[in-house]
């Protein structure tokens, strides 16, 4: 584990439908967060709900994240765009970048790299998602992962690497009945750290936090942390099911440090 705290990120995706529901989910997470001792939680609601779900450092161990940010850094004529600076101003600390659902709609590594730069420049932490579409016996997926990491992080100066969080999300395990096997999660997270070390050096590689995402719920989360040996989790469906997410946070927080 690279940090002394586990990082649990809730990616709400395009859920829930109403502001009222969003506020209810957020308030349940904010109630449990201060009781956690070794876990930091980040919720990433849809953009229109973020500001109503919390504010910067409102309660201990609770942080706000966004599911997107513009590549544009300077204010101006960019209809429909939301800048990292604006997100920073409302208390957002993390931004999910390069999620496979956005890559599937055309987000390229080049665009991912630009967004990472914009987010870092605004003082936020990018949660950079990488993951293979299929896991083949011959290991071609390793090359896919390596290229995604290298190209996505192409513009990051060494001085900024400490703000980066990597999220390994094998695409075939997202929205699936089961997550990836724990031993495979462990193997992939080592590979992801190795590629990161090759780019930024061993010290940075040892420190970078690698999360796992893909069909995580409150039942499987503790084993994924313990046996998958990841620094945290990127949670989809279970993050908008507040009783489940609260149980997940409690269960993960109870895991003793290695």
Q: Which of residues 97-156 bind ligand 13P (CB under 6 A)?
A: 99
| Percent of residues in the chain assigned helix, strand, coil, to nearest 5 | 45, 15, 40
44 counts as binding ligand 13P under rule CB under 6 A: no
CA pair distance 238, 11, nearest whole angstrom: 9
215 counts as binding ligand 13P under rule CB under 6 A: yes
Contact 64, 92 (CB under 8 A): yes
CA pair distance 5, 40, nearest whole angstrom: 6
Lookup: tokens for 167: 């999220």
- Beta-strand pair 232-235/39-44: unpaired
230 counts as binding ligand 13P under rule CB under 6 A: no
Question: Whole-number minimum distance, CB 187 to ligand 13P, in Å?
Answer: 19
Pick 96 or 195: Cβ nearer ligand 13P = 96
Exactly one of 85, 93, 101, 169 is catalytic; name it.
169
Catalytic-residue membership of 99:
yes
Stretch that binds ligand 13P, among 68-76, 138-146, 168-176, 242-250 (CB under 6 A): 168-176
Contacts of 166 (CB under 8 A, 6+ apart): 127, 128, 130, 149, 192, 196, 208, 209, 210, 211
Pick 149 or 235: Cβ nearer ligand 13P = 235
Question: Whole-number minimum distance, CB 97 to ligand 13P, in Å?
Answer: 11
Contact 38, 18 (CB under 8 A): no
Pick 205 or 236: Cβ nearer ligand 13P = 236
Exactly one of 93, 99, 101, 132 is catalytic; name it.
99
Question: Whole-number minimum distance, CB 76 to ligand 13P, in Å?
Answer: 31
234 counts as binding ligand 13P under rule CB under 6 A: yes
The total of other beta-carbon atoms located within 10 Å of residue 203's CB is 10
Pick 60 or 219: Cβ nearer ligand 13P = 219
* Chosen residue from 65, 126, 170, 236 binding ligand 13P by CB under 6 A: 236
Closest residue to ligand 13P, based on beta-carbon distance: 236
Contact 237, 12 (CB under 8 A): no
For residues 53, 65, 175, 169, the Cα torsion angle rounded to the nearest 10 degrees is -160
Burial (CB count within 10 angstroms: exposed 0-12, middle 13-18, buried 19+), residue 111: middle
Pick 192 or 234: Cβ nearer ligand 13P = 234
Q: Which of residues 195-214 bind ligand 13P (CB under 6 A)?
A: 213-214
* Chosen residue from 40, 85, 132, 169 binding ligand 13P by CB under 6 A: 169
Query: Where do contacts with ligand 13P occur on this chain (CB under 6 A)?
Result: 11, 99, 169, 174-175, 213-216, 234-237
The catalytic site residues sit at 99, 169
């Amino acid at each position: 584990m690279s940090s002394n705290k586990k990082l649990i990120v809730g990616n709400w995706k395009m859920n829930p439908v109403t502001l009222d529901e969003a506020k209810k989910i957020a308030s349940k997470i904010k109630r449990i967060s201060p009781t956690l001792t070794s876990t930091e939680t980040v919720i990433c609601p849809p953009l229109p709900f973020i500001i109503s779900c919390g504010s910067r450092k409102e309660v201990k161990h609770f942080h706000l994240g966004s599911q997107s940010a513009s590549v544009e850094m300077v204010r101006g004529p960019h209809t429909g765009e939301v800048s990292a600076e604006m997100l920073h101003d409302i208390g957002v600390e993390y931004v999910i970048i390069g999620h496979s659902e956005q890559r599937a709609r055309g987000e390229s590594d080049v665009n991912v790299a630009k967004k990472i730069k914009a987010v870092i420049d605004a003082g936020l932490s990018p949660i950079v998602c990488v993951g293979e579409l299929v896991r083949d016996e011959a290991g071609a997926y390793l090359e896919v992962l390596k290229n995604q990491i290298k190209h996505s992080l192409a513009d990051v100066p060494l001085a900024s690497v400490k703000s980066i969080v990597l999220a390994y999300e094998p695409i075939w395990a997202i929205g699936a009945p089961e997550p990836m096997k724990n031993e495979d999660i462990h193997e992939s997270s080592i590979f992801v750290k190795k590629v990161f070390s090759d780019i930024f050096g061993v010290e940075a590689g040892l420190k970078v936090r690698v999360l796992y995402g893909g069909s995580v719920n409150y039942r499987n989360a503790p084993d994924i942390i313990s046996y998958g040996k990841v620094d945290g989790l990127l949670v989809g469906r279970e993050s908008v099911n507040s009783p489940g997410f609260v149980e997940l946070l409690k269960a993960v927080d109870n895991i003793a440090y290695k």
